[in-house]
Amino acid sequence: MPMMGEPLDNQLLVAFDFDGTITTRDSFTAFLKWRAGSVRYAWGCLRLAPAAVSYVFHRNRGKLKSAAVREFLRGASADKLDAEARTFAETHAVMLFRPDALATWRRWRAKGARTLIVSASPDFVVAPFARGLGADVLIATKLNVDEAGRVGTGFDGLNCRGQEKVRRLQEVFGPDVHLTAAYGDTSGDREMLSIADEKGYRVFRGKP
């Protein structure tokens, strides 16, 4: 999937958040639960209770997500996670995707737009879904992976939400990037929506 490229003159650029926008729920949490199994997942969530309590005060979703990475994924093979994510996408896409979001996605593609997914979820989880949708560009949070190809602690860079979404779009398309349309469902999408002509905030309500 292309990751870089300058938009052509008059090129339509349409960006979609993923979790809660294209999907009905958080794909990363769903993946962790599926991968770990119910017992291991419940135990991991119990161990994450202090991080969840701290979140009430600092409201930093990146810290909470980083704690989940440490609990459930630290030391895992990145290649194996990629393979597991492909299996997860193949078996769960039909249960996660909003039909009205997919209809809008297809409408823009029919118009010749470059469709982008810009997500705070880890890129390895979203990538198989993005490929299945035919996304032109995926921008997402990157996990820290060591030289042995195993997941370390935290992220490689910042959690991709808020202003970081705009910064990453500028990194791909240049500092003057402007979107034809953008769709999101949380406060972490507002900066991205602010650079779009058509601002779709919580417009998708469909259920699988």
Q: Is residue 181 assigned to a domain? A: yes
HSE on the CB side for 97, CA within 13 Å?
19
Q: Is residue 8 assigned to a domain? A: no
Domain that holds residue 175: 13-201
C-alpha separations of 85 from 58, 123, 138, 195 in Å? 30, 10, 15, 31
Q: Is residue 87 assigned to a domain? A: yes
- What pLDDT digit, counting tens, does each position of 2-33 carry? 444 444 456 899 999 999 999 999 999 999 99
Q: Is residue 93 assigned to a domain? A: yes
Flag whether the pTM goes above 0.95.
Answer: no
CATH of the domain at 52: 3.40.50.1000
Q: Is residue 1 assigned to a domain? A: no
- What pLDDT digit, counting tens, does each position of 50-68 carry? 877 776 666 667 688 888 9
- What pLDDT digit, counting tens, does each position of 144-184 carry? 999 999 999 889 999 999 999 999 999 999 999 999 999 99
Q: Is residue 139 assigned to a domain? A: yes
Cα angle, residue 151 at apex, residues 146 and 154 outer, rounded to 5°: 100
Say which residue, 10 or 94, is predicted with more confidence.
Answer: 94
Give the number of domains in the chain: 1
Q: Is residue 5 assigned to a domain? A: no
DSSP, res 115? E
Q: Is residue 116 assigned to a domain? A: yes
